[in-house]
Structure 1
Amino acid sequence: MKPLRDDEPREIGPYRVLAELGEGGMGRVLLAAASDGRLVALKVMRPHLLHDDRFRFRFRREVLTSREVAASRWTAAVVASDEHAAEPWLASEFFHGPTLAEAIAASGPLDEAAARRLMHGLASALAEIHAHGVVHRDLKPSNVILTEDGVRIIDFGIARAPGAGDGDTTVTETGALIGAPAHMSPEQITMRPVGPPTDLFSLGTTVIAAATGANPFDAEALFDIMSKVVHADPDLDALPAGLRTLVEPCLVKDPGERITAAELLARIGEPLAGPWPPGVAALDEMQRVEVASVAERLGWETRVQPDRTVLMYGPGFVRADTGVPTGPTIRYPTGPTAQYPPGAPVSGAGPVLRPGPVPPAPSRPDRTVLYSVLAVVAVVALASLLFLIDRPGARDDPGTTAADSSEDADAGSDWDGGTETDTDPVETTPDAVADPVADAVVGDCFHDYGGEDEADLEAASCGDGTFEVIDVYHDTTDLSLCDGLDDLTTSVADSGSRTVLCLSYRHSYGDAYHAEVGECVFGPDDDVSPWYRIDCQTGAFEVLERLPGESDQDACTESTYYNHAFWFTTDQTYLDVLLCLRFIYPDDAGYAAVDNCMYMDGDPEDGANYWFSDCDGANVYVTGRTDEYEASGFCGDDGWTTWSSPDFAAHTYTVCWRYL
């Protein structure tokens, strides 16, 4: 989870926003609380999609289809929404647990028993979803939550609405693919009608990824992925034999011959009961502690309800069914040392309070008064010390010179020559002043008034141009501990406090600033709007090179696919970033040049796909190319294919071809 930025709203609709759970190409998912304390996952659309009718339609359909399957124990039901708002949002049930993608990334593949349990849960979920007339169409590890009692399927953004026909509910445009191609079915890639078998194919690839840690159709280039999904038989040798026989019928290329969810359930049988592997359980517990910590900082508590949803209680939350505030008299500890389970019952109730606004997050204390007091104390201490030095009994101190003694004697003294015991002045030690670096926690932000080789940090409110702390290490000065962190910009070691801060720069042009090679980004075609990381799909840009400290697009390496650049400049050259990009076309025709050999798949009259091929296996070759749309006259008597981006006119093309 990530803390909210200072400029973010703390209320959306009837919900109090608490933290960020994650983000994707379509929007962000926030942790929020209803007035009765029920925690929800609140999805909001990205700003640059608010005026895109296609994505608004997708958003509305997610609401409709999620409500249709709300009765299922295998899905996170939508509990409220406002798809017509200026900034649409929807609230779904919140469950503790990592996504399958997070579990694989953190602790590796699932063992056979856990993979079988996963497969049983997914098959059960799909059987119920399909019974409601819904096809998910985007089943993948990031859309599966591993909960304490099984699995939950989320994100119905491109699901088919119940009762809809095959052709009237698509949210994709010609040539566009929304979703993850490596988890799609052959019929999705080739734009054929989809149905329940589509989800079974995706189930198969999801289980393979879970059991082996790799997707069998992954490749470096998008067109290679799609070609493998349509034509290649996946290598299942890494799967245990018991899983292999269950996965194989899911991956049949012909959807009519593919196994159904009900048939798969019958073959799986009842999986062995038991918890998820320790790595998954550790992620679950970590999330519980994080959520409980967010609540505790705001003066509240959390507990898991019998249906596994999470409730927050404390001042300001009033249960909708009774009107009695939820206020515990017993505090249940959280984390690995908890003596009570997360679902332990809570008794008692606190005083009746009206629902109020979200209490402000605790800000760093204003130490101006403290510093003033310390300054006065220091002055008084110094004056006292001077007085002690100047007093008569101090003239025999070892630090007094002979000349000083002589001068004092000549001036007269009331010292009687007796023995006096020297006493050291009492030292006044002010309270330790807080060190913003040593006391930093994840989510704090700093201005850096230094440079590339030497930092000069000052605590600041999080915002554009600041450095956000993404990890902290104590009792060390080893900067390499930060290596490998997502979105890392720089690391700073403070030798005095032996603290290492891992810092991420926040650029005003969006989180595409941190995009790595292989990730995809997108934003408006202007020079002032932010760009964001999104799922790789037609119309997005894949990062071919990320060049830190560079803002000259001529630095990009010329390649077959490089056709766009986006750069982030700052007042410090070392923070500049240049992204060398390739625009993702619907097929290889977008990259084709004269004399390239290609394989044309399909009837050109109905809309064929074009893939690069060795000339021996090709059936057409390119005779011309122009950046105009539907320029059939340019091609003369040759065949042609054309495409235009609604967002980037510069990537429009008409490609001419002849048969080999």
Structure 2
Amino acid sequence: MQPLTPADPRVLGGIEILGRLGRGGMGVVYAGRTDDDTLVAVKTLHVGGLEQSDLRERFEREAIALGMVQGPGVAALVESGQEADETPWLALEYVPGLDLATYLKRHDPLDAVTGTALGLVLANALTDIHTAGLLHRDLKPANVMLGPDGPKVVDFGLVAIGGAGGDLTHTNIRLGTPRFMAPEQFTAPTSVGAAADVYALGALLVYATSGQYPYEGATPDALGFAAVNPDIAPNLTGVPAGLVPLVTALMAVKPQDRPGLADVRAQLTERLAAEGLSPAAARAHLTERTYVPGTGITDEVPPAKRHAPVTRVETVDHSRTAGTGARTGKRGGLAARTAERLRKVYARPAA
């Protein structure tokens, strides 16, 4: 955790801001503490992004999407808010530990059993995401946190609500991280569907178990050319032999040739059963091998010493919000105020 700068907020929506966790393309992520002494990750939008409607829509969409997904493999939304003329923010479940990208820079690739367990956890998380009518569209090692309760998918900044199409794809912009993007994300971004997340799962498993990317290229265009070309096979050197047929299928060039998540989960569960592991035991095995103690901020943050209570945001009556699931307050209301507008814009068949 890095110290705050003079320009950083000290409180957002009643959440005490403790320090900086990182900075990304959309904004800064802070460590925060709620009034009940719960640590959270607080994601904000750059001040410059406040004037850019596309970035603001992406941020608002992320708030709504996070509130719609429930599952042990997805970092949960705690609160969201925005006060007049102030930066929008999201408070997310804080997951101590390393992200998968950092872990793989410091450790050897995952063995066959651990890689299979990771595949099942992420397939389950994607199932929860798709069941909520969402597409993640940016599944990659940096967006998988290896926490003490197992891996969790984070960062819904490129999520699509309502399935294929919608949001920024109407401008034909390529959304995603090129090394993990499906061929259709390069060639037909307006028709990207759930199969793109399946492809990303395959590419991620290749990297996690071999330490190598499926395709190499100096530019996004070079990576895209390789991904869309059926004559250029992904590099699977180092991938455990038992996983090669599955990741090959996951990374099929045509979306319709990739297996569905139900099939993927069944195959991975069967492989784990052959190793004597139930899904729960496999998750515990994975956590034991990938969670690195001492890599969180827990030891850096002493217990709170508060002199006055902090106003907490209220929880939305979910029976009245048509499944947005986000929490908001009288002063905030980011997700609640934008949900209906965004749902109309992004209305598509379920993912």
Distance in 1 (CA, whole Å) between partners of 2:21 and 2:94 is: 10
Distance in 2 (CA, whole Å) between partners of 1:247 and 1:177 is: 23
| SS of match in other structure, 2:2 | coil
Check conservation: 1:107, 1:279, Cα contact below 8 A.
Answer: no
After TM superposition, list the pairs within 5 Å mapping 1:96-135 onto structure 2.
Answer: 96-135=96-135
Amino acid at match of 2:218: E
Distance in 2 (CA, whole Å) between partners of 1:227 and 1:154 is: 28
Check conservation: 1:59, 1:83, Cα contact below 8 A.
Answer: no
Distance in 1 (CA, whole Å) between partners of 2:141 and 2:187 is: 22
Residue 193 of structure 2 aligns with which residue?
A: 195
Residue 346 of structure 2 aligns with which residue?
A: none
| SS of match in other structure, 2:124 | helix
Q: Which of 186, 209, 212 pairs up with 1:211? A: 209
Matched, 1:80 2:79: yes
Identity between Structure 1 and Structure 2 (%): 34
Distance 1:129 1:88, change over 3 A: same
Q: Shift of the alpha carbon at 1:269?
A: 1.0
Amino acid at match of 2:192: V
Matched, 1:171 2:161: no
Work out which structure has the larger RCO, using CA pairs closer than 8 Å and 6 or more positions apart in sequence: 2
Residue 320 of structure 2 aligns with which residue?
A: none
Amino acid at match of 2:131: A
Distance 1:356 1:127, change over 3 A: closer
Q: Which has the larger radius of gyration?
A: 1
Distance 1:59 1:84, change over 3 A: farther
| SS of match in other structure, 1:81 | strand
After TM superposition, list the pairs within 5 Å mapping 1:526-537 onto structure 2.
Answer: none
Distance in 2 (CA, whole Å) between partners of 1:43 and 1:277 is: 25
Amino acid at match of 1:184: M
Q: Shift of the alpha carbon at 1:315?
A: 2.8
| SS of match in other structure, 1:285 | coil
Distance in 2 (CA, whole Å) between partners of 1:287 and 1:143 is: 16
Distance 1:118 1:81, change over 3 A: same
Q: Shift of the alpha carbon at 1:195?
A: 1.4
Amino acid at match of 1:194: V
Distance in 2 (CA, whole Å) between partners of 1:174 and 1:84 is: 30
Bigger helix fraction: 2
Check conservation: 2:97, 2:294, Cα contact below 8 A.
Answer: no
Q: Shift of the alpha carbon at 1:179?
A: 2.1
Amino acid at match of 1:269: T
Deviations 1:457-484 (A, max 9, x none): xxxxxxxxxxxxxxxxxxxxxxxxxxxx
Q: Shift of the alpha carbon at 1:108?
A: 3.3
Residue 309 of structure 2 aligns with which residue?
A: 355
Residue 256 of structure 1 aligns with which residue?
A: 256
Residue 341 of structure 1 aligns with which residue?
A: none
Residue 315 of structure 1 aligns with which residue?
A: 305
Check conservation: 1:110, 1:277, Cα contact below 8 A.
Answer: no
Q: Shift of the alpha carbon at 1:198?
A: 0.9
Check conservation: 2:139, 2:200, Cα contact below 8 A.
Answer: yes
Distance 1:29 1:195, change over 3 A: same
Amino acid at match of 1:190: T
Matched, 1:55 2:61: no
Check conservation: 1:181, 1:226, Cα contact below 8 A.
Answer: yes
Deviations 1:444-467 (A, max 9, x none): xxxxxxxxxxxxxxxxxxxxxxxx
Distance 1:165 1:144, change over 3 A: closer
Check conservation: 2:111, 2:240, Cα contact below 8 A.
Answer: no
After TM superposition, list the pairs within 5 Å mapping 1:419-568 onto structure 2.
Answer: none
Gaps of 5+ in 2: 312-351
| SS of match in other structure, 2:30 | strand
| SS of match in other structure, 1:286 | coil
Distance in 1 (CA, whole Å) between partners of 2:6 and 2:66 is: 32
Distance in 2 (CA, whole Å) between partners of 1:7 and 1:166 is: 39
Check conservation: 2:14, 2:310, Cα contact below 8 A.
Answer: no
Deviations 1:122-144 (A, max 9, x none): 11111121111111111111111
Q: Shift of the alpha carbon at 1:2?
A: 1.6
Distance in 2 (CA, whole Å) between partners of 1:22 and 1:218 is: 27
Gaps of 5+ in 1: 301-313, 317-352, 358-660
| SS of match in other structure, 1:206 | helix
Q: Shift of the alpha carbon at 1:278?
A: 7.6
| SS of match in other structure, 2:134 | coil
Q: Shift of the alpha carbon at 1:165?
A: 6.2
Residue 223 of structure 1 aligns with which residue?
A: 221
Distance in 2 (CA, whole Å) between partners of 1:356 and 1:88 is: 19
Q: Shift of the alpha carbon at 1:73?
A: 1.4
Q: Tell me which moved more, 3-12 or 58-67.
A: 3-12
Check conservation: 2:118, 2:286, Cα contact below 8 A.
Answer: no
Matched, 1:234 2:234: yes
Deviations 1:293-344 (A, max 9, x none): 2x13xxx1xxxxxxxxxxxxx432xxxxxxxxxxxxxxxxxxxxxxxxxxxx
Q: Shift of the alpha carbon at 1:62?
A: 0.5
| SS of match in other structure, 1:72 | coil
Q: Which of 180, 184, 192 pairs up with 2:181? A: 184
Q: Shift of the alpha carbon at 1:82?
A: 2.0
Q: Shift of the alpha carbon at 1:218?
A: 2.8
Q: Which of 292, 298, 323 pairs up with 2:299? A: 292
Distance in 1 (CA, whole Å) between partners of 2:83 and 2:126 is: 29
Distance 1:140 1:127, change over 3 A: same
Check conservation: 1:103, 1:279, Cα contact below 8 A.
Answer: no
Distance 1:127 1:189, change over 3 A: same
Check conservation: 2:117, 2:268, Cα contact below 8 A.
Answer: no
Deviations 1:177-228 (A, max 9, x none): 2321111111111124111111000000011111111211231122101111
Distance in 2 (CA, whole Å) between partners of 1:142 and 1:269 is: 25
| SS of match in other structure, 2:167 | coil
| SS of match in other structure, 1:269 | helix
Distance in 2 (CA, whole Å) between partners of 1:8 and 1:140 is: 29
Check conservation: 2:100, 2:145, Cα contact below 8 A.
Answer: yes
Check conservation: 1:138, 1:183, Cα contact below 8 A.
Answer: yes
